[in-house]
Amino acid sequence: HVAFAIYAFLSRQKKDGVGEGLLAVGFMVIIFAVGWTISTMLTNLLFTPEFFVKWYYGETGSLLLRTLRKEFNRDTISLLLLTLGEVGFYYFYLREEGKELEPGTKD
């Protein structure tokens, strides 16, 4: 997020000044806060605590699955969903206006 914020600030500041750069960073903070709230609501609806209890206590011989069990919870899933959504959103938000899709390609 820090790298995206620096990029957003510098790209907007170069075009329209410092105020526009700060607005871009503020907008990113708002998108992060609202997006995390929405993605947390979705993961709470989709992944019940019973699901994680079954998944956590199920038998496995895999070291990878044992490690994932320790680190992979609803907060992790919601942050992954948020990151995927933000990447798509910022791609269109920070894209330069002069760059158009080539003819024959889909959105």
Q: For residue range 70-104, what is the model confidence (pLDDT) as tens digits? A: 777 888 889 999 999 988 888 887 776 555 555 55
Structural domain includes residue 105:
no
Structural domain includes residue 25:
yes
Structural domain includes residue 15:
yes
Structural domain includes residue 101:
no
Residues above pLDDT 90, as percent of the chain: 21
- Span 1-22, mean pLDDT? 85
Structural domain includes residue 102:
no
Give the range of the structural domain holding residue 14, as residue numbers without chain letter: 2-92
Q: Give me the number of domains the chain comprises.
A: 1
Buried b or exposed e, range 29-41, using 16+ CB within 10 angstroms:
eebbeebbeebbe
Structural domain includes residue 32:
yes
